[in-house]
A = this chain, B = another copy of it.
Amino acid sequence: MQLGLIGLGKMGGFMRDRIKAAGHEVVGYDTNQDISDVKDLKELVSKLDAPRHVWVMVPAGKVTQSVIDELGTLLEPGDLVVDGGNSKFTDDAKHAEELSAKGIEFVDCGVSGGVWGLDNGYGLMAGGTKENIDRMMPIFDALRPEGPRDEGFVHAGDVGAGHYVKMVHNGIEYGMMQAYAEGYELLEAKEIVKDVPAAFKAWTRGTVVRSWLQELMAAALEKDPDLSDLSGFVNDSGEGRWTVQEAVEYGVPMPVISASLFQRFFSRQGENSPAMKAVAALRNGFGGHAVTKKGEKGIVTDH
């Protein structure tokens, strides 16, 4: 089938290749004209036969909103837009409503797989009506990994459900990464353990903790056994935050995923943490415990 694909960056570019490889026709647009098939969205729409299918793969938030807005003016009733970016599920309801007012259909689709997707295929989580999902199925089948469809694709529910499942997927990912990371740190600290990279690698087969993340961890440690090249400064990307906020909203206890998120926040503060300055001030206040002045090197006292 024919697909308009907006956004040909790290994710979108690989996706174009994979969809084409499956025999579909892709008209791609990117603000970088060197990689774009067309000069603007108007030309993109003009190159597609109605009813059109357009996949949006651009940064969530303002950029996605402006693309949706422009598509609303260019597309026709019966056309269908898929948002495959990292939009928040609350945006989906809004986008669906805005497009619906013009007779345009909407599907949201969370996409997992990162830079590995070109070769392995992408895990897909979609939300929308059954009819719209069915219309897009050839593209979903092109993008998802080999194997049974239900192992790499889900129609998760109504509009927004695709991004919601992807959001929770990322929240779980935060928790898993932190679990491996805590285990790594303890193993590194223990004198009798001599080969931590080999331990992570040995978990690849037969163990309960084997996973793709475990294999990535083993590979990273194989290249740089002490991770000595890296700083522990870690960013987050939105989905973890939304997951925790949703948990709070729904009264769902979420100690592990929230802790993983908070560790990332904390990792960016170091000795500038306002909270820990407050704890230092209190310790000094009641016990005369020595404080470390700003700029001094802290000394770990024997507990």
Per a CB cutoff under 8 Å, which of B121, B238, B247, B255 touches A259?
B255
A113 contacts partner chain B, Cβ-Cβ < 8 Å:
yes
Q: Determine whether the beta carbon of A190 is less than 8 Å from that of B259.
A: no
Greatest chain B CB density within 10 A among A10, A179, A198, A206 is at A206
State whether A208 and B198 are in contact (beta carbons under 8 Å apart), knowing that A116-B286, A273-B185 are contacts in the complex.
Answer: no
In angstroms, how far is the closest chain B Cβ from the Cβ of A8? 16
A183 contacts partner chain B, Cβ-Cβ < 8 Å:
yes
Residues of B close to A243: CB separation below 8 A: 183, 186
**How far apart are the CA atoms of A80 and B272 in the complex, in Å?**
42
Per a CB cutoff under 8 Å, which of B177, B198, B214 touches A155?
B198
Total copies of this chain within the assembly: 4
Residues of B close to A236: CB separation below 8 A: 303
**How far apart are the CA atoms of A52 and B248 in the complex, in Å?**
39
- Chain A 246-287 interface 0/1 with B at a Cβ cutoff of 8 Å (1 = within): 111111111111111111111111111111111111111111
In angstroms, how far is the closest chain B Cβ from the Cβ of A199? 5
In angstroms, how far is the closest chain B Cβ from the Cβ of A236? 5
In angstroms, how far is the closest chain B Cβ from the Cβ of A231? 4
Q: Determine whether the beta carbon of A152 is less than 8 Å from that of B202.
A: yes
State whether A256 and B253 are in contact (beta carbons under 8 Å apart), knowing that A164-B190, A183-B171, A277-B230 are contacts in the complex.
Answer: no
**How far apart are the CA atoms of A11 and B100 in the complex, in Å?**
48
Q: Determine whether the beta carbon of B263 is less than 8 Å from that of A117.
A: no
- Chain A 197-226 interface 0/1 with B at a Cβ cutoff of 8 Å (1 = within): 011011111111111111011011100100
